[in-house]
Amino acid sequence: MSSDFEISRVLGEGSLPPSRRRRLRRLGEDASDPAVHEGSEAVPGLPEGSLEPVPPEFEILSVETLAEKVMRMRVRAPLIAQERKPGQFILLQTDVEYGERIPLTIADADPRQGSITLIFQVVGKTTQELASLKVGDALPVLVGPLGTPTHIEKYGRVVAVGGGIGVAPLYPIVEGMKAAGNHLTVIAGARTRELVILESEMRAMADDYIVVTDDGSYGRKALVTQPLKELCEGPEPPDLVIAIGPPIMMKFCAETTRPYGVRTLVSLNTIMVDGTGMCGGCRVNVGGKTRFVCVDGPEFDGHQVDFDNMIARLGAYRDQEKRARDHACRLQALAEKHPHA
């Protein structure tokens, strides 16, 4: 079995229990102390002479609101920032005792500052707790980078379709595809103008930028599939389509491109527990075979994904999620009301 030290380097310090994190952190803090090298007791499980510091707790460096219930958060995670590639994600927990692990795509990273950027929508208990954190707070668990990176190369004409919060995980892929020399068209969809995110960032990279809204308050009043179909029928159809957003949106993007034979990738966001392929919670049916989103994905051929099965499985814990989101702890409320009692 891998040592704590090795695990912390590959998956991040947050992959270890708090007691082991403290042990490794003490070792890092004492690395310059001669006493560590002279007669100090070896820490079991660490390679001999391994006194390299590990990252601190995952401190929140900045928080901002991009749209209603959509937050952008920058977190200190130097090892993840160095290793991440477009399309990869992290798993985090806000409550190490009873909380769930949720996957979030790494929207951006700054290896020099040792930080990663996460963009999320407040929809459940964990994202509510995440949104309540402030600069200087720290995440107790942050594991990554996980998943298979997007294959970046020069395809020719690439159309990137983002629906709602799906524009966030699309951003690093768009950045990579543009750097590879592709002609890039971005289609961004949202319910209304106020929910359009990362517009300036996408416009800076895209050769063509198309906005559609359900209510027509910004751009065209249409679904993302309408301009996508027009591009497929045009004189220069795309060589590759990448669609990220709600499952139903990705399903119909795939159905839109299917008659034209345009290769279409989708990035799936499923229920996830361990993120290493062991639990099977993220399994999906792709081309009649079982695949795990956390290790085989998150990107798959959209024409092969069984979206109906995936959508049904996503609703498996809807009632429990609602109860967790709406639950109010009476003891906590009492403690907040009488802090000095």
pLDDT in tens, 279-308: 888 888 999 999 999 889 899 999 999 988
Instruction: Based on the fold, state whether residues 195 and 208 are members of the same structural domain.
Output: yes
Q: What is the mean pLDDT of residues 64-74?
A: 93
Instruction: Based on the fold, state whether residues 166 and 305 are members of the same structural domain.
Output: yes
At 47, give phi and psi (nearest 5°). -60, 145
Q: Which two tokens stand for residue 158?
A: 């690439």
84 vs 269, residue with greater confidence = 84
Instruction: Based on the fold, state whether residues 191 and 306 are members of the same structural domain.
Output: yes
227 vs 44, residue with greater confidence = 227
Instruction: Based on the fold, state whether residues 23 and 97 are members of the same structural domain.
Output: no
Give the SS3 label for residue 229. helix
- Please, how many CA atoms are within 13 Å of residue 99, restricted to the half-sphere of its CB? 19
Q: How many domains does the chain have?
A: 3
Rounded Cα distance between 226 and 336, Å, is 51
How would you list the strands of the sheet with 70-76, edge to edge?
Answer: 138-139, 58-67, 70-76, 115-121, 102-110, 89-93, 141-146
Rounded Cα distance between 269 and 57, Å, is 26
Lowest-confidence region among 7-11, 245-249, 264-268, 297-301: 7-11
Instruction: Based on the fold, state whether residues 189 and 308 are members of the same structural domain.
Output: yes
Q: Can you give the residue range of the structural domain that contains 194? A: 157-314
Is residue 6 classed exposed, middle or buried when 0-12, 13-18 and 19+ CB atoms within 10 A define those classes?
middle
Q: Which of 44-48, 170-174, 322-326, 336-340 has the highest mean pLDDT?
A: 170-174
Instruction: Based on the fold, state whether residues 128 and 168 are members of the same structural domain.
Output: no
pLDDT bucket at 20, cuts 50 / 70 / 90: very low
pTM here is: 0.76
Instruction: Based on the fold, state whether residues 165 and 247 are members of the same structural domain.
Output: yes
Q: Are 12 and 146 in contact (CB under 8 A)?
A: no
Instruction: Based on the fold, state whether residues 75 and 104 are members of the same structural domain.
Output: yes
Residue 319 lies in a domain: no
